[in-house]
Chains A and B, each alone.
Chain A
Amino acid sequence: MTDYNFAYLDEQTKRMIRRAILKGLAIPGYQVPFASREMPMPYGWGTGGVQVSAAVLTPDDTFKVIDQGADDTTNAVSIRRFFQKTAGVKVTEATEEASVIQTRHRIPEQDLRDDQILVYQVPIPEPLRFLEPSEVETRKMHALEEYGLMHVKLYEDISQHGAIATAYAYPVKVEGRYVMDPSPIPKFDNPKLEMAGIQLFGAGREQRIYAIPPYTQVVSLDFDDYPFEASKADHACDLCGAEDSYLDELIVDDEGGRMFMCSDTDYCAGRRKQGHVGAQGVPYAEDAA
C-alpha cells in the first residue's frame, strides 16, 4: 500500500477536488469546474467518481461500488480493488455496512443513513447539453435560470409519445434553482434523491463536480397535467419476489424466454437470505450449494 500516496491522487490534486466539493455543497446542483486528472482507467469508466471518492475516503471507511446496481460487474470490481490497493480501505458488498458508496447509474434500494456518502459517476453532467451544444450558452442559461428549453423537450415527448418518454437521466430542479442531471439513473430512483446521505457527482471527462446536501429539495420536472411518475417494469423480481425494487430484464433463451430480477444485487440477495423466493427462484441456501 505504501507504493501509492493514500487514495492514489497526490495531495494538491485532492485539495483542488476537495475545494470543488465544498463549493458544490454550498451551491446545490451547480456544476463546479475542476481540473480532472488522468486516472489509470479510460474516461467513461468512472474517472470522475473515482476522483471524488479518492478525495473523500479516509482510512477508516468501508467502500462499496455498484454498477447498475450490481456489486459483481467488471467496473465495480476493478474500482473496489483499486481503492483496496491504493487506500487500504475495507470493502463490502452490503449497502448497510458501507460508509462510502460509489455508484454507476443506480441508487441502492435500501435508504441511506445520514453517515453514508453516495458518489455518482457522471458521463454528461450538463442536462441541457443535448438541447444546446455550446457550453457558453448553457452556462448563460443556468445563470439566467432559463430552463424553458428543457420543458419544451419534455413537452415534445408528450406530443410524440403521449407521455414523458424520458426514462433515465430525468432532469431535476434542486432547491428551486439549478436544473441538474442526476446522472443516468432510472427515473424510478429520482424520488430517492431527497435522502439523509450526502450525494456527490463526479464527471471526469467533462471536468465537473456537483453535489446535493442531505434533505435538499429535489423536484423532477413535469407538468400539472402530466405529473412525474417513477416507473419500473410491471413485474415482481423472479429471484426474490420483490415488487418494490427496480428490475433488470434478462433474456434467458432464444425462444423469447425472459426473466426480471432486481438490479440491486445486494438487496436481492438480502431478501433471498431472509427466505423470499420469486417465481423462477430457488431458496438461497440451495443456490449457494
Chain B
Amino acid sequence: MQSLALEGGFQNAPTDAAHAFRSIMTAMARPGEISRVDGATPPAPLSVATGVTLLTLCDPDTPVFLGKSVNAQEIIDWITFHTGAPLVEAKDAMFAVGSWQDLTLDDFPIGTAEYPDRSATLIVEVPTLDNTGAILAGPGIKDTSRLTVPDIDAFQTNRQNFPLGLDFIFTCGNRLACLPRSTRVS
C-alpha cells in the first residue's frame, strides 16, 4: 500500500463528518438542491464530494460496489484504509460508486416489501451538476425543482417501484445533490 492511500481523510473526523452529513441530509431531504462539501481528497478520478460521502456514511458494516471507471488499486486502497468497507458485487452492495455508465441499476438491491430500506444508495460521479434540465417533484420539493440528471427514464422506472427502489447521490467536484426514490422526474 502506497502512502497516498493514507492521506486525504478527514482532518477532524467527528466535526468534518457532522458538517458533511448535514449537507448530505439536507440534499436528501430536498431533492435537487445542490450542497457543497469538503474535507476529503480521495485519489482521482473520485471527486471530493464522493470522497466525503464515503467517509461520512461507509464503514465495515457497509459493503461497497466499485464501478469500472473507479475500480483502481489506488482507490481500493484509499477506501479500505479510510472506511474499512468490504468491496462486493453489485447485488450485495449497500453503496455503489461510479459513473452513470458503470452502474447497471437492475443489479442492485432495491429492498423488500417489508424492509424497503434494505436497498442500495448509488453515488454517481456526473460531469455536470446544475439546476437545469429534468423537472423534479415530490416529498421535499415545494413546487418543482430542476436538476441535470443522467437519464430520465431510469428514474421514472425507479419511482414506479416505490416504496422500493434505489436512492442516488450525484457528485461533481465538491458539490452534490440527491435523488431519492420518492421523487417524480419528468
Enumerate chain A interface residues (CB-CB to B < 8 A): 5-7, 11-12, 14-16, 18-28, 30, 32-33, 55-60, 114, 139-140, 142-144, 175, 177-178, 196, 198, 211-217
Contacts and interface: CB of A to CB of B under 8 A. Distances in A.
A5 B14 contact: yes
B18 interface: yes
A59 B114 contact: no
Nearest to B21: A18
Query: Which secondary structure characterizes the binding site on chain A?
Result: mixed
A105 B162 CA distance: 30
A16 B61 contact: yes
B74 interface: no
10 contacts: A12-B59, A22-B28, A22-B167, A25-B28, A27-B116, A58-B19, A213-B182, A214-B29, A214-B142, A215-B141
Interface of B: 13-15, 17-19, 21-22, 24-26, 28-30, 56-59, 61-62, 94, 112-117, 119, 121, 138-142, 162-163, 167, 180-182
B25 A198 contact: yes
A59 B15 contact: yes
Contacts of A178: 163
> What 4 A-B pairs come out closest when comparing CB atoms?
A213-B140, A26-B180, A6-B14, A143-B113
A20 B116 CA distance: 12
A178 B116 CA distance: 12
Given A11-B14, A23-B167, A59-B18, A30 B117 contact: yes
B166 to A, nearest CB: 9
Given A19-B57, A27-B117, A27-B163, A6 B140 contact: no
B11 to A, nearest CB: 13
A74 to B, nearest CB: 27
A60 B58 CA distance: 24
Interface centre among B28, B139, B181 (most CB of A within 10 A): B139
Contacts of B19: 58, 60
